Amino acid sequence: MCGILGIFDKKELDTQHVLGLSKRMKHRGPDEQGFQLNTQGDGMITHERLSIVDLNTGKQPIKGTNTTYLVHNGEIYNHIDLKQTHCPDVLFRTKGDSEIIVHLFEKYGEDICGLLDGDFAFMVMKEDYFMVARDPIGIKPLYYGQDTDGAYYFASELKVIEDQVMDVTPFPPGHYFTKEKGFVKYYQPLWQDYAVCKEKGDLKRLQDTLVHATKKRLMSDVPIGVLLSGGLDSSLIASITARLLAAEGKELHSFSIGIDASAPDSLAAKEVADFIGTTHHSVHFTVEEGLEVIHQLIWHLETYDVTSIRASTPMYLLSKYIREQGIKVVLSGEGSDEIFGGYLYFHQAPSEEEFQKETIDRVGRLSTADCLRADKSTMACALEARVPFLDRDFLDVAMAIDPSEKRPNRSEGKIEKHILRKAFDDKETPWLPAHILWRQKEQFSDGVGYSWIDFLIAHCEQQVSDAEMLLADIKYPINTPTTKEAYYMREIFHTHFPSDGAAKTVSKWIPKWQANSDPSGRASHLHEKTVSAV
């Protein structure tokens, strides 16, 4: 996990200036910086490295066998297999997962992204040619733009290039870009068409694919931990990881956060940790501590979306603690709610067809929401988050299941994500305590303690006047804030990123089929309040 920057077709390119831009994301890769100019002197790639795999020889940019260079952010989980099957005669200079990309490019050209099983944003540079690509779901962030002279800019974070280009834009997931072809969509799975999602749910296959997806993500030369909220998704990933590591005689550290020990997530996480046998760390924070970090957090997140900020605040505070414990990699449960329709508003889907369309749409927009939050709130602290639910193979299995088997239905006793719960409902060797396996969805920002959002809303009400809200559409015509909380977050974002282009990069997370637009799960009439919530 790192930060990458590429500038191409730039006349009078200033190396020191580019390195200065790259250092704006030094938090993503505090271990070392590298760069490479192209042979024409009008292109340059940089790399801010967080060393996780191949600690000693994995410095980037990585040189191919000729004049081709690569910078890569992410992990390629099938790199060993690719080396053996596609590049058996190549003498690799490193032992890590990134170098395979440059050699595959030298062999096959641009048609390589489909071979890569992993999470990635990368840039290949050869003389005056360049190629830039992003993983299928957008787990790794990437932005692009052009300056007034037509030079191309690409970077892992908005802040690196926002003031350098005319209009900064998120790089679309599942695409690669070249100057000659523009954007090319390489990821086109069958399940993106809701009409073909008619497969019968195979519980054993669902379980096996998720276990394998988790196992892939244990690839590391540094200690690994798990984020454990106590909800279904993180608890399943923690349980799977604990079993896999126990088979190797390895210890697993789990981490949760809440307002105090009586927060819904804190209680559930402690019970899960005791059940699966992890060394558990239960971190607590105050509302005041949360409010204190919001300005800095929004600079890291590069969004004003209320949902993302609510959830990212405790995640950011927890990431700081985890990093202080010497952990560089954590596994997390992002993506499951989008795949299986886990949010409470999915109960209101008017039909199976609309339910399926919404899951496809939510997965397609993960790069603007949960993937953005998971990456940036952890990488702000030089901590890498890996997300097994968004494994390409698991998506192929889970997304193709007929919506009749995924859609929740209370009258039939089908709780949200019931098919996933059934897949791991093993009475002989249980993965989780039964009431945790069948616990109702509690959104992370709620689960840390209900008072977090309640006090946050109250704080914003005091900071924004009624007069300001009346003029909100004039001051902020793009994604006009409709609540004082949204206005407060937008004000902070604007101080960091004042351009209209930056404002347009943000997508707001709003529940569908719901009487109100509040993203909190508690806004749904179906929410079952946890009695001990604080």
Positions marked active-site: 2
Q: Name beta bridge partners: 76.
A: 118
Please name the amino acid found at residue 518.
Answer: D
CB 18 within 8 A of CB 38: no
Please count the CA atoms within 13 angstroms of the CA of 124 that sit on its side-chain side.
Answer: 29
Q: Concatenated DSSP letters for 453-466?
A: HHHHHHHHHHHS-H
Q: What count of other Cβ atoms lies within 10 Å of the Cβ of residue 127?
A: 12
Cis-peptide, bond into residue 61, ω within 30° of zero: yes
DSSP string, 92-156: -S-SSSSHHHHHHHHHHTTTTGGG--EEEEEEEEETTEEEEEE-SS--S--EEEE-TT--EEEES
Token representation of residue 286: 């105050």
Q: Is residue 446 classed exposed, middle or buried when 0-12, 13-18 and 19+ CB atoms within 10 A define those classes?
A: buried
* 69 and 6 Cβ atoms separated by less than 8 Å: no
Rounded to 10 degrees, the C-alpha dihedral 251/256/260/266 comes to -90
User: Would you say 253 and 279 are in contact if contact means Cβ atoms under 8 Å apart?
Assistant: yes
Task: Confirm if 392 and 136 have CB atoms less than 8 A apart.
Answer: yes
| d(C-alpha 240, C-alpha 184), whole Å | 36
409: which DSSP letter?
B
Phi, psi (degrees; rounded to nearest 5) at 157 = -130, 150
CA-to-CA distance for 481 and 472, rounded, in angstroms? 7
Shortest CA distance to 433 belongs to which of 229, 272, 207, 228? Answer: 272
Q: How far apart are CA 78 and CA 445, in angstroms?
A: 34
Q: How far apart are the first and last CA of the chain?
A: 35
**And the tokens for 398?**
């889970």
**314 near 373, Cβ under 8 Å?**
no
Joined together, the tokens standing for residue 30 give 């505090």
The alpha-helical segments, DSSP class H, found in 254-369 are 264-276, 287-301, 306-324, 336-340, 352-364
Q: Which residue has the tokens 């590429």?
A: 6
For 413, residues 6+ apart whose C-beta sits below 8 A from its C-beta are none
Task: Count CB atoms within 10 A of the CB of residue 498.
Answer: 12
